[in-house]
């Protein structure tokens, strides 16, 4: 019998204002302390500056996770206050709040749905889709999914450039575009103040390592929580919201310090089943409900292996790597000799023959 998830998780929904405020103040204070420590260390050694960039980046990641809770309406009882705080946090995380909030809501509403791969997801092709593409588009996809692009080039592009002018969203998203423009104005103001006070060169020497490192960490966390071998992808007619949350979002097990730094985002499956649960109640829900422990669990060391998984094999219902394409192509060719074709058939590419 399928559990009544709405009933089971209801006790863990709802913000506790003092807990949210405490998280916000302490995280911001720690980020400020590390930031000014990095600025001070420029007079001693840049190696010390870079060393301090790691804890500073982790605090920026944590600050984004609090912004993330604001977007889901789980951080404050007042959504107006949550939106205000989320907007201000977006100035520092370089993530325009309303723009991100809407695209992330689309991600939650369609995660694991092969008919609704759009905003807020890492582009994932099925093996058949990949084989049906021209050679240059296949090469482009392979480049896009390369770990160095995904974790180094991608975050820099996403947070520093794309969020300044996200041309992939419709022009009639007025609130989201306003959020982008406000974020850019705030960023320009912040850079100007830093230029006039600490100097643009010193500001960039401190801020760029934090931004790039935090971006890479954030993308990696999002990647491994959805891109693992037995994840969940279905076409619309077979797709289920709760199954997508429990089977398509992993439990990334981390040391307690990292779990705190990332605001329990490793309990991602619970978050996808009920996004209204604030980060500080996720562990309580996990400890109390046995069904929440019957999911795919990954440790950090194991999660690195998921970086090679790039394509969805519809027949075997698992993510595979590019090295397995030849084997799957041979299987598809054999299907053409009389075996039933895919559950979601499309025109058979000549490349299979």
Q: With cut-offs at 50, 70 and 90, classify the pLDDT of residue 117.
A: confident
Q: How far apart are CA 125 and CA 140, in angstroms?
A: 12
pLDDT at 338: 55
Per-residue pLDDT at 347? 43
Please tell me the predicted confidence (pLDDT) of residue 337. 63
- pLDDT tens track for 260-293: 999 999 999 999 999 999 999 999 999 999 999 9
Does 118 have pLDDT greater than 80?
A: no
pLDDT tens across 143-156, in order? Answer: 999 999 999 999 99
pLDDT at 348: 43
Mean pLDDT of the chain: 91
Across the range 104-119, mean pLDDT stands at 89
Residue 334 has pLDDT above 80, yes or no: no
Between 2 and 217, residue with greater pLDDT: 217
Of 15-24, 54-63, 165-174, the poorest mean pLDDT is in: 165-174
* pLDDT at residue 331 is higher than 90: no
pLDDT range class, residue 336, cuts 50, 70, 90: low
Say which range, 67-71, 202-206, 208-212, 331-335, has the weakest mean pLDDT.
331-335
DSSP string, 147-193: HHIIIIIHHIIIIIIGGGS-TTS-TT-HHHHHHHHHHHHHHHHHHHH
Residue 353's pLDDT band, with cuts at 50, 70 and 90, is: very low
pLDDT-based confidence at residue 350 (cuts at 50, 70, 90): very low
Q: Greater confidence, 259 or 342?
A: 259
Helix axis angle for 174-197 and 79-93, nearest 10°, is 50
Rounded average pLDDT over 190-202: 96
User: What is the distance between the alpha carbons of residues 56 and 48, in angstroms, rounded to a whole number?
Assistant: 12
What's the predicted TM-score (pTM) here? 0.90
Average pLDDT (6-21) is 94
Give me the helices (H) in the chain, please.
5-9, 17-41, 46-71, 79-93, 97-110, 127-132, 135-144, 147-148, 154-155, 174-197, 200-224, 241-247, 256-261, 268-273, 282-288, 300-303, 325-335
CA-to-CA distance for 113 and 240, rounded, in angstroms? 9
**pLDDT tens readout for residues 198-257:** 999 999 999 999 999 999 999 999 999 999 999 999 999 999 999 999 999 999 999 999
pLDDT at 349 over 60: no
Residue 275 CA, distance from chain mean position: 14
Lowest mean pLDDT among 116-120, 133-137, 271-275, 288-292: 116-120
């Amino acid at each position: 019998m399928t559990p009544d998830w709405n009933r089971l998780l209801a006790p863990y929904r709802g913000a506790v204002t003092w807990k949210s405020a405490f998280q916000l103040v302490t995280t911001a204070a720690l980020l400020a302390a590390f930031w000014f420590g990095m600025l001070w260390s420029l007079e001693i050694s840049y190696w010390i500056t870079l060393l301090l960039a790691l804890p500073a980046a982790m605090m920026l990641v944590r600050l984004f996770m609090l912004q993330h809770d604001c977007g889901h309406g789980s951080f404050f009882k007042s959504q107006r206050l949550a939106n205000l705080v989320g907007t201000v946090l977006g100035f520092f995380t370089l993530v325009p709040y309303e723009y991100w909030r809407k695209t992330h809501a689309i991600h939650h509403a369609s995660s694991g749905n092969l008919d609704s791969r759009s905003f807020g997801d890492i582009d994932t092709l099925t093996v058949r889709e990949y084989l049906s593409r021209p050679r240059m588009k296949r090469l482009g996809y392979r480049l896009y999914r390369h770990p160095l692009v995904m974790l180094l080039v991608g975050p820099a592009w996403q947070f520093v450039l794309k969020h300044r002018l996200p041309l992939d969203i419709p022009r009639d998203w007025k609130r989201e575009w306003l959020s982008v423009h406000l974020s850019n104005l705030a960023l320009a103001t912040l850079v100007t103040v830093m230029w006039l006070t600490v100097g643009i060169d010193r500001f960039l020497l401190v801020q760029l390592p934090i931004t790039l490192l935090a971006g890479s960490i954030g993308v990696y966390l999002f990647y491994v929580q959805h891109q693992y071998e037995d994840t969940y992808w279905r076409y619309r007619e077979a797709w289920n919201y709760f199954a997508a949350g429990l089977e398509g979002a992993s439990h990334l097990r981390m040391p307690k310090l990292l779990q705190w730094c990332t605001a329990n985002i490793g309990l991602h499956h619970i978050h996808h089943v009920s996004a209204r649960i604030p980060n500080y109640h996720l562990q309580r829900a996990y400890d109390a409900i046995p069904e929440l422990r019957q999911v795919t669990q990954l440790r950090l060391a194991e999660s690195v292996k998921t970086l090679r998984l790039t394509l969805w094999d519809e027949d075997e219902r698992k993510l595979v790597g590019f090295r397995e394409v030849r084997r799957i192509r041979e299987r598809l060719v054999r299907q053409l000799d009389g075996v039933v074709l895919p559950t979601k058939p499309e025109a058979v590419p000549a490349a299979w023959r």
